[in-house]
Structure 1
Amino acid sequence: MLSNIGIPGLIIILIIALIVFGPKKLPEMGRAVGDTLKEFKKSTRELTSDDDSEKDKNDRS
């Protein structure tokens, strides 16, 4: 579904978001989304590293 948007669609979405939220609120929202993605990636890495360490412990036993 999202693969069909393209560049013109992204521009339209950005313009609509700018109109709805305003130029002052948009950077704050972008920062919040970036922080959320960073935390999600961090927790995903921690989960996968925990799984790998458990597999190593089981292989050694």
Structure 2
Amino acid sequence: MLSDIGLPGFILLALLALLLFGPNKLPGLGRSAGKALREVKREMNEIFGDSRPAPRKTAEAPKTDEPQAAPVQPDPRQSRNLPE
């Protein structure tokens, strides 16, 4: 829906909002819109949160009898961060 507007359309909408509401009321309108969207999102998650299917578990890697390699420890003498 909004992806069809493009940059020129967005600039036109911003200028129109500035002319209609003025520079003093725009921050308050933005805050109000943000609060309203958060409330709607919270209510939607509350209503539909339990009815969504649980995510599927990923298949575990098959276990092998081969031993795992030990982690390689860096030589502290070669580190540039440590004083000598």
The TM-score bracket by the shorter chain reads: 0.7 to 0.9
Q: Are residue 41 (structure 1) and residue 41 (structure 2) matched? A: yes
Q: Which has the higher contact order (CA 8 A, sep 6+)?
A: 1
- Structure 1 counterpart of 2:30, one-letter code: G
In structure 1, stretches of 5+ residues that fail to align are: 53-61
In structure 2, stretches of 5+ residues that fail to align are: 53-84
| 1:41-60 equivalence runs, <5 A | 41-51=41-51
Find the residue that maps to 1:24 and give its secondary structure.
Answer: coil
Question: 1:49 Cα deviation (Å)?
Answer: 2.5
Question: 1:2 Cα deviation (Å)?
Answer: 4.0
Question: Runs in 1 of length 4+ with deviation above 6 angstroms?
Answer: none
- Structure 2 counterpart of 1:21, one-letter code: F
Q: Which has the higher helix share?
A: 1
Number of aligned pairs?
52
- TM-score, structure 2 normalization: 0.55
Q: Are residue 31 (structure 1) and residue 37 (structure 2) matched? A: no
**Percent identity for Structure 1 against Structure 2:** 46
Question: 1:51 Cα deviation (Å)?
Answer: 3.4
